[in-house]
Amino acid sequence: MSDAATPPVPPAPASNYNPDNITVLEGLEAVRKRPGMYIGDVHDGSGLHHLVWEVVDNSVDEHLAGYCKRIRVTVHFDGSVTVEDDGRGIPTGTHVEHSKKLGRDVSAAELVMTVLHAGGKFDHASYKVSAGLHGVGVSAVNAVSEWLKLEIRREGHVWLQEYRKGAPVTPLALIGDSDRTGTQVTWKPDTDIFTVIEWSYDQLASRLRELTFLNAGLVIDFSDERGEGRSEHYEFAGGIREFIELLNHAKDPIHPAVISFTAEAPTDLGASVVVDCALQWNSTYGEQIFAYTNNVHNKDGGTHLTGLRSALTRTLNTYGTAQNLLKDVKAGLLGEDVREGLTAVISVKHPDPSFDSQTKSKLVSSEVKGIVETGVSEKLSRFFEENPAVARKILEKAVLAAKGREAARKAREVVRKGQNDITTLSGKLSDCQEKDPAKCEIYVVEGDSAGGSAKQGRDRRFQAILPLRGKILNVERVRLDRMLGSEQIGTLITALGCGLADPEDRKETEVVDGVQSGKRVSTFDTSKLRYHRIILMTDADVDGSHIRTLLLTFFYRQLPELIENGYLYIAQPPLYRVRKGKKDLYMKDDAALDRHLLENAVEGIAVDASKGPALAGDQLIVLAKRMKQQREILGKLDARCDARVVAAAVRGAMLGRDDLRDATRAEEKAKATRAFLEERWPDFKPLDVVAQKDAEHGYRLVAQLRPGATSRATVLDWALVDGAEYQQVLSIEEDTRSIWPGPYRVRVPGSAEPVVIADAEALGAYLDERGRKGIVISRYKGLGEMNAEELWSTTMDPDGRTLLQVKDEDISGRTDELFSVLMGENVELRRAFIEQNALNVRNLDI
């Protein structure tokens, strides 16, 4: 080949990897850049709720140290959260060493809030045991928050500091005096980091209740200001023993008293590991074991759970053999036999525990397994010797469980033979064409009527339909062999194709620090599942709700892995049918209905204000929504104080939080509030609005309507004015002032003269009334009321439907308790539940 034919060698690409490409993330910037490393997933809600656990854990640590008795947790309507305790308060003095590094005075409180791995829990001097040992907790919360307010009561003073996205806005400031102590942290998660800010009331309530069980003497008050508002008070003197009693109260314990004991063993550090354990067996067929380390729930277990399970199996086999109680079980008791019907809590207090991650989901401290195993074996063996009658009942329960394995094995064989034979479902299952489970979904539909519409409306490429006739068996009340004999349940299992996990197939092996030890690991194989979206679609009436509950009971008790893996969903048919003339529209929820009513209200009209341009269309909708929100918030505040006074403080005085810090400004705002009240509600005369001294925060406004009457005074203090509700009312007022004041003239099509509206409140009422004119709204109930096209567009079309994913976010047994109450044998508990919750029903089908 000649030189001319040789292709030129391309030059090497210029390297763009040089020293400038090395990035150092300073301070909390690393947390904002990679939040999942510190708080967990920011998309599925786990990371969001972890923020509360980090802040609450600090307060609980104060309780463990002997300084905190009460914690208050409040979820505000705007998604912000407040955690307040009566502990010692974070130190406020200057941190000398860190101040030298930065060249400015830095308080210890600011250090805790802004520097990773800064805290008082590393040397075991301030805290012997602690849930927060990594030192990234509250600083990580600060880093991922849109804003955070820190208020400290300590040494007779009140200190305040505010942050924006982890950075301090001002230095820690002394703002008042107080004879109380404690720390209050209020923050709002940053929507730049979290996809959705939606707090789960049940998840928060379960964890807070759990903490009071684990810490006898601790009091926690939990309030949720969203919606209609809910609150709970937790205080349990009995500790984990009372926890077990509550978990089993809807079941039938086989021995009346909870078995509880404490064991302690020293560590290499010189401090001790304390193990608290409580046990009680009941007549059910499942098990509940909750594992904790330093008050943190370890959802994936760990060495303490391994030690407990090993000790239980060994102790019951040893005692049963010695007492000749296992003659009918030749191979001895398996772990599943021993734990059938067991409810247990194992709580470890460790001075320096090791976890698998910052979220502390699994304890990996190797020495704990031996400590727990030895302690539980000794204490439980002694209990059996001292209480032979109770021991015999427990052994008899375990022996029956061992005998039941054979019947369950035979029933499973029947299911296994049919689970891959889809031809047996001819005429029942309308399968889809797609064979990839990840792309397939199955609708489990109530009855043939809805099933017919679903079959006609579906996309047969990837959507399968399985209609079930009537109500399936309540699996809460039957043994496994009878459940597997149910035709409907057999049909459902066969359609899914995954069968049921068999306890006999589960191996008890786990490697911890290179040592093989016992832990139950489920071998449930989801690869055989034929659909990765299992959608329950039932009517929105009583029968439909009952069928859905029966199905949920089946999945929760027998196929929990499908819930854990996110395969189970509930279809969300529209809540409302709106009829205008001969045309029907379906609204999926209250927000959609409100939007439709607003659109109907503003259709064709224009509003002329005294200031600003004429408003119509989307601009008018935005204004109307904001005004309605303001009215709703004022209505909520009316339960705490007179909303008319709040409205006067906002509209007449534009009272802000900082106005309460200055005597002159507070007096001026009090006069303006009084003037507005006298003008807007002249019947209030005489009235009195004054600025009073508030030691902790400067001043507060106190309004007394009709002095001497029975009406109590309304107090506008720092807590109210700085609160989310008041701030939102103030923000809306600032937005709507561009069209102030009235009157407003509404130009209506077909009307020669405009409608004159006196003020903003009257304008809102006018739009509400006009929005409902000519419309009939009915609560939608039956899927069968829709034709195939309507069912597809509202409930089955992936581009337009809403699916509710079923998750088990419970960490303290509330879900199990609810299923036991609603679906179990105890009629009295179910009746009490209905009586307690009857007034909370929103949509009653009668």
Catalytic residues: 446, 539, 541, 543
- Residue 845: phi and psi, rounded to 5, are -95, 110
End-to-end CA distance of the chain, in Å?
94
CA distances from 616 to 362, 606, 747, 825 (A): 57, 5, 10, 60
Q: Which two tokens stand for residue 499?
A: 């069968």
Residue 749's region, left for phi above 0, alpha for psi from -120 to 50, else beta, is beta
Q: Which two tokens stand for residue 420?
A: 């891959």
Q: How far apart are CA 479 and CA 33, in angstroms?
A: 51
Q: What angle do CA 371, 372, 377 make, to 5 degrees?
A: 105
Count, residues in the chain: 846
Q: How far apart are CA 619 and CA 739, in angstroms?
A: 12
CA distances from 456 to 459, 464, 788, 790 (A): 9, 11, 6, 11
* 8-state DSSP, 8: P
> Using N-to-C axis directions, what is the helix angle for 814-823 and 240-247, rounded to 10°?
30
Closest CA to 92 of 172, 162, 148: 172
Residues 34, 27: contact at Cβ < 8 Å? no
Q: Which two tokens stand for residue 521?
A: 């690991």
Residues 221, 71: contact at Cβ < 8 Å? yes
Q: How many CB atoms lie within 10 A of CB 444?
A: 24
Residues 162, 172: contact at Cβ < 8 Å? no
SS3 label, residue 440: coil
Contacts of 195 (CB under 8 A, 6+ apart): 42, 43
Residues 688, 681: contact at Cβ < 8 Å? no
The strands making up 576-580's β-sheet, listed across from edge to edge, are 583-587, 576-580, 776-779
Which letter, b or e, does each residue of 534-558 get, where b requires 16 or more Cβ atoms within 10 Å of its Cβ?
bbbbbbbeebbeebbbbbbbbbbbb
Closest CA to 612 of 467, 737, 508, 448: 737
SS3 label, residue 788: helix
Residues 429, 422: contact at Cβ < 8 Å? yes
CA distances from 545 to 58, 549, 795 (A): 41, 6, 17
Neighbour-count burial of 176, counting CB atoms closer than 10 A to its CB (0-12 exposed, 13-18 middle, 19+ buried): middle
Neighbour-count burial of 645, counting CB atoms closer than 10 A to its CB (0-12 exposed, 13-18 middle, 19+ buried): buried
Closest CA to 756 of 769, 748, 744: 744
Q: Which two tokens stand for residue 711?
A: 């009406």
Residue with tokens 């401090």: 271
SS3 label, residue 180: coil
Neighbour-count burial of 330, counting CB atoms closer than 10 A to its CB (0-12 exposed, 13-18 middle, 19+ buried): exposed
Q: Which two tokens stand for residue 544?
A: 């439909």
Neighbour-count burial of 786, counting CB atoms closer than 10 A to its CB (0-12 exposed, 13-18 middle, 19+ buried): buried
Cis peptide before 574 (omega within 30 of 0): no
Residues 542, 552: contact at Cβ < 8 Å? no
SS3 label, residue 684: helix
